[in-house]
Amino acid sequence: MPPGAIGSPDSTAPPTSTRLRGVPTPHALARGPPVLDGPTRSPFFSIDLPHHIELEITLCHPLHRWLLLHRQRATDGTALARAIDYSLKRWDALIRFADDGDLPIDNNHLENRIRPIALGRSNWLFAGSLRGGQRAAAVMSLVQSAKLNGHDPHAYLKDVFARLPTQPASRIADLLPHRWQPA
């Protein structure tokens, strides 16, 4: 095996499942918890403490050493140097998942929830007026709040709009998504 090749003792390749046999890649970990002998605590990524210690030792420490080594080799100001600096400056936050089994390794589930709002921002530029944009934002907030509270947004809005003309002003708060009950 040539010097520096993946798998050779002097390799400087990043730690991956091919480099560190038996260690899952971060992408494999993000897909869900590994099969364990103990119960899990979170639907996203929850594992018991001994496995967290193993994760930190087998995945995080080699990655940190790799980042430090390659930062010394990277020329200041290059994209690689900036990327490594970014990771090293936020190292404690980056490996926080390894200390707490209730924290997911990524936030994809939250990103997917806010994507419609982020996509809508560019559409709201064409609301026609400031008041039109404010109304669109209010409706989008109601729709997303209804989703977060487990309601079908169409059924929720249809029911609210039907009740609104006869709803007493003192009980308008009962129509908010977190308090709403279907008629």
The torsion defined by the Cα of 129, 133, 134 and 138, in degrees rounded to 10, comes to 150
* Rg, the chain, Cα only: 25
Residue 32 token pair? 């869900």
More confident: 16 or 168: 168
Number of neighbouring beta carbons within 10 Å of residue 57: 12
The reported pTM is 0.40
80 has a pLDDT exceeding 60: yes
Distance CA 55, CA 32 (A): 14
Residue range 102-108: average pLDDT?
A: 78
Whether the Cβ atoms of residue 105 and residue 30 lie closer than 8 Å to each other: yes
Binned at pLDDT 50, 70 and 90, residue 182 comes out as confident
Whether the Cβ atoms of residue 42 and residue 101 lie closer than 8 Å to each other: yes
- Residue the block writes with tokens 């002998």: 37
Residue range 150-166: average pLDDT?
A: 94
According to DSSP H, which parts of the chain are helical? 26-30, 49-55, 61-73, 79-89, 91-94, 108-124, 130-148, 153-163
Binned at pLDDT 50, 70 and 90, residue 183 comes out as confident
130 has a pLDDT exceeding 60: yes
* pLDDT of amino acid 99: 74
pLDDT of 36-47, one tens digit each?
A: 444 444 344 444
Element holding 110 (H helix, E strand): helix 108-124
Those residues whose C-beta lies under 8 Å from the C-beta of residue 177, and which sit 6 or more positions away, are 142, 145, 146, 148, 149, 151, 156
Those residues whose C-beta lies under 8 Å from the C-beta of residue 40, and which sit 6 or more positions away, are 33, 46, 47, 48, 101
6 has a pLDDT exceeding 80: no
